[in-house]
């Protein structure tokens, strides 16, 4: 047997070698193994990113050519560094820093050395690239924003980081990805799919020819165009009205849930985050802790809802059958509970039913009905959970399951929430401020706009969304499916009537627009902050919600203006003008428009509480400023373009 041992060993080793060669020749030669082959250069071909249009078919976002200088560290040969730096418009320190980064990333893989050259710089550099071994130019496209509005809507694109690359292998170092807004929400649809070209190299690392005549090469697949629900004219007008102010506006089409306008102020030109200037401008915007232009107040701003919340208190009271439309409650300039007193604007002895209570914004009426809701079965703990469940059916307390890339859930308290504060006994009076939207309840502008859309529809809403159509595809069915609240349809009519009376003879009577039946509700929200460790009250927030027309509504809107004093002073004027702009296309209330364009709130953001009842300083003299001609020109140019 020993005489055959050597022979058997040779045969086994030979079979192993043969099997390995067979594997390398047959199985390891497929297209996927090429990614690991150092003798093959991989050159990615980037697709055209999808265009973005507004609801009326106007182009908002297109593409422009861009060129990246790539480097493969191990192929770099000695070069005239000074000349190369001058061509790239960088200094030697930046050159060394980028080359070191490339080496740390990989000696053999391409790395973006300088990104996003202009066409002019590319034309000059291309002629001399042969002198710089190890460097080559890769073409791709950058975004070109055809508008100066909607930065928080459209978003921007930027380079991927290691966290993104580790999470999604599709992306390579230097790739671009949607960072905010629509660009982020619909990245997978807009980006398309990269193509790739495999190039055979010789032993000197020089390109020879396409590998196997391009058999394994793939062409890039362009991204799909999308149409968003935003009305560019309405968006531009809202941004104009919000100049020199801070806050958020959301306008929704009630019958579809489509977002017509999504405004966050202060804002910025989306073109500021394009090209080589992106990094510098983003840093500037990011570290602006005063204006916070990158903070989307319409989606992320969390505010107490104030008096508009009374609409929900009334609806829940009707549903829980603790009050009917004919019952009247007397207001004695407020509501007394225990040794406390909640003040109200109503004259002493005023008797209100639900319609007049909404019209006059009577605190006493809604405090009374709130207590009845919680105490209905003699157990406030169960009562507040029922109340909380009703609120959540309107989309409060969650992210609304929309297609927007940022947001906040707001806050809808229940018994569990209060258990930390009141672990044992719990009474309805402990949370009475909730009745008028001044307690622990907190909402975002988009949530409150959605509530108004549900009221406009008399009991249902559609998930708010920003996508209207996708080229060659359909939008998710969830955006076309109505969501019903826990309030019966019959209870909405008196609340709608009360909102209509707010415009007819109530707190918004000075904001009427001829020819449009608008239903609305003003709101004034107390504003507290900590200064030197003490709770200090600042100028109140101005809030307004509305929908129009009263029947067959076309627009529902929520406006939040930080430190805007009271509801009708800033937010109400803006809401009325935007409703008229959307429905009529022109403005008749030029008096409201002129007032808004010539009054600034820039000096009001840290102003202490005036000491007057309800935080309202009716004598406040706002800074009168000239119309911002640049902003006005932008608005006019957009209108001409659109």
Mean pLDDT of 147-168: 90
Distance CA 501, CA 522 (A): 12
Distance CA 282, CA 279 (A): 5
Strand partners, 137: 69
For every residue of 21-86, DSSP letters joined together read: HHIIIIITTSGGGGGG-TTEEEEEEPPPPPPEE-TTS-EEEEEEEEEEEEE-GGG-----HHHHHH
Distance CA 261, CA 234 (A): 6
Sign, CA dihedral 451-455-460-463, equals negative
Residue 338 pLDDT more than 90?
A: no
Residue 519 pLDDT more than 90?
A: yes
Q: Residue 321 has what pLDDT? A: 94
Domain chopping of the chain, boundaries: 40-228, 232-282+294-641
Q: How many helices (H) and strands (E) does the chain have?
A: 21, 24
Contact 524/565 with Cβ under 8 angstroms? yes
Write down the pTM of the prediction: 0.84
Mean pLDDT of 459-464: 96
Residue 490 pLDDT more than 70?
A: yes
Q: Which residue has the tokens 């460097």?
A: 135
Q: Residue 634 has what pLDDT? A: 52
Task: Report the range of poorest mean pLDDT among 257-271, 553-567, 615-629.
Answer: 615-629
Task: Report the range of poorest mean pLDDT among 161-175, 408-422, 518-532.
Answer: 518-532
Task: Report the range of poorest mean pLDDT among 14-23, 193-202, 300-309.
Answer: 14-23
Residue 230 pLDDT more than 70?
A: yes
Q: Residue 613 has what pLDDT? A: 36
Strand partners, 522: 544
Residue 603 pLDDT more than 70?
A: no
Q: Residue 14 has what pLDDT? A: 77
Residue 28 pLDDT more than 80?
A: no
Higher pLDDT residue, 322 or 536? 322
Task: Report the range of poorest mean pLDDT among 183-187, 358-362, 566-570.
Answer: 566-570
Mean pLDDT of 159-177: 88
Q: Residue 334 has what pLDDT? A: 84
Residue 555 pLDDT more than 90?
A: yes
**DSSP helix/strand/coil, 306:** coil
Strand 52-53 to 226-228 pairing: parallel
Distance CA 571, CA 588 (A): 18
- Which run of H or E residues covers position 316? helix 310-319
Say whether domain 232-282+294-641 belongs to CATH 3.30.420.80.
no
For 116-146, write each residue's pLDDT tens digit.
887 788 888 888 888 888 888 888 788 889 9
Total Cβ atoms within 10 A of residue 168: 13
Higher pLDDT residue, 1 or 458? 458
* φ, ψ for residue 116, nearest 5 deg: 60, 55
Note whether 40-228 and 232-282+294-641 share their fold.
Answer: no
Q: Residue 314 has what pLDDT? A: 96
Contact 554/55 with Cβ under 8 angstroms? no
Higher pLDDT residue, 612 or 101? 101
Mean pLDDT of 249-272: 94
The most confident of 148-162, 172-186, 312-326, 558-572, by mean pLDDT: 312-326
Task: Report the range of poorest mean pLDDT among 4-8, 118-122, 481-485, 588-592.
Answer: 4-8
For 43-69, write each residue's pLDDT tens digit.
788 899 999 999 999 999 999 888 888
Distance CA 593, CA 131 (A): 61
pLDDT-based confidence at residue 630 (cuts at 50, 70, 90): low
Residue 169 pLDDT more than 70?
A: yes
Burial code of 480-517, b = ≥16 C-beta within 10 A, e = fewer? Answer: eeebebebeeebbebbbbbbbbbbeebbbeebbbeebe
Half-sphere exposure of 62 (CA within 13 A, CB side): 6
Burial code of 539-560, b = ≥16 C-beta within 10 A, e = fewer? Answer: bbbbbbbbbbbbeebbbbbbbb
Q: Residue 152 has what pLDDT? A: 93
From the list 498, 508, 397, the residue with the least C-alpha distance to 450 is: 397
User: For the domain 40-228, what is the CATH superfamily, name and number?
Assistant: Penicillin-binding protein 2a (Domain 2) (3.90.1310.10)
Q: Residue 470 has what pLDDT? A: 95
Residue 293 pLDDT more than 80?
A: yes
The pLDDT mean for the chain works out to 85
Q: Residue 619 has what pLDDT? A: 39
């Amino acid at each position: 047997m020993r005489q055959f041992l050597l022979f058997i060993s040779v045969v086994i080793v030979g079979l192993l070698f043969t099997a390995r060669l067979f594997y390398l020749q047959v199985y390891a030669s497929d297209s996927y193994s090429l990614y690991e082959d150092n003798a093959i250069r991989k050159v990615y071909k980037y697709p055209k990113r999808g265009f973005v249009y507004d609801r009326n078919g106007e182009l908002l976002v297109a593409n422009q050519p861009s060129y990246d200088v790539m480097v493969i560290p191990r192929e770099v040969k000695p070069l005239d560094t000074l000349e190369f730096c001058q061509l790239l418009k960088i200094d030697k320190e930046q050159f060394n820093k980028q080359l070191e980064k490339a080496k740390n990333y990989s000696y053999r893989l391409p790395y973006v050395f300088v990104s996003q050259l202009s066409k002019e710089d590319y034309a000059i550099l291309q002629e001399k690239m042969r002198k710089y071994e190890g460097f080559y130019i890769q073409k791709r496209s950058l975004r070109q924003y055809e508008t100066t509005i909607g930065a928080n809507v459209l978003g921007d694109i930027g380079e991927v980081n290691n966290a993104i690359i580790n999470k999604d292998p599709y992306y390579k170092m230097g790739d671009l990805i949607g960072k905010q807004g629509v660009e982020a929400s619909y990245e997978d649809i807009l980006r398309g799919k990269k193509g790739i070209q495999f190039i055979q190299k010789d032993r000197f690392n020089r390109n020879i020819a396409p590998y196997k005549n391009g058999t394994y090469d793939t062409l890039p697949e362009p991204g799909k165009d999308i149409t968003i629900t935003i009305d560019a004219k309405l968006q531009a007008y809202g941004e104009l009205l919000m100049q020199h102010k801070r806050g958020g506006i959301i306008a929704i089409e009630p019958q579809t849930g489509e977002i017509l306008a999504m405004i966050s102020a202060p804002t910025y030109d989306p073109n500021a985050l394009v090209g080589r200037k992106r990094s510098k401008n983003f840093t500037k915007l990011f570290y602006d802790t005063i204006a916070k232009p990158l903070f989307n107040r319409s989606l992320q701003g969390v505010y107490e809802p104030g008096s508009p919340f009374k609409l929900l208190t009334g609806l829940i009271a009707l549903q829980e059958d603790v009050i009917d439309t004919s019952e009247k409650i007397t207001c004695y300039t407020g509501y007394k509970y225990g040794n406390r007193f909640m003040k109200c604007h109503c004259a002493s002895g005023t008797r209100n039913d639900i319609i007049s209570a909404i019209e006059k914004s009577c605190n006493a009426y809604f405090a009374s009905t709130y207590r009845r809701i919680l105490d209905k079965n003699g157990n406030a703990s169960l009562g507040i959970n029922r109340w909380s469940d009703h609120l959540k059916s309107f989309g409060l307390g969650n992210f609304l399951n929309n297609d927007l890339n940022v947001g906040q859930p707001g806050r809808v308290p229940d018994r569990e929430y209060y258990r930390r504060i009141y672990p044992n006994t719990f009474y309805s009076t402990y949370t009475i401020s909730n009745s008028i939207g001044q307690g622990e309840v907190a909402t975002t502008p988009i949530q409150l706009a959605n509530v108004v859309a549900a009221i406009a529809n008399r009991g249902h809403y559609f998930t708010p969304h920003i996508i209207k159509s996708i080229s060659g595809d359909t939008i998710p069915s969830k955006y076309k499916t109505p969501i019903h609240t826990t309030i019966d349809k019959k209870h909405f009519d008196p609340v709608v009537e009360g909102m209509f009376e707010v415009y007819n003879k109530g707190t918004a009577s000075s904001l009427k627009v001829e020819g449009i039946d608008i239903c609305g509700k003003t709101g004034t929200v107390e504003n507290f902050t900590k200064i030197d460790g003490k709770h200090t009250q600042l100028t109140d927030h101005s809030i307004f919600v509305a929908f129009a027309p009263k029947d067959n509504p076309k627009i529902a809107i929520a406006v939040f203006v930080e430190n805007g004093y009271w509801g009708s002073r800033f937010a109400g004027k803006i809401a009325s003008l935007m409703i008229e702009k959307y429905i009529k296309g022109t403005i008749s209330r030029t008096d409201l428009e002129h007032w808004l364009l010539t009054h600034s709130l820039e000096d009001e953001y840290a102003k202490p509480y005036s000491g007057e009842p309800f935080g309202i300083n009716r004598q406040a003299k706002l800074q009168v400023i000239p119309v911002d001609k640049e902003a006005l020109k932008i608005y006019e140019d957009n209108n001409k373009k659109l």
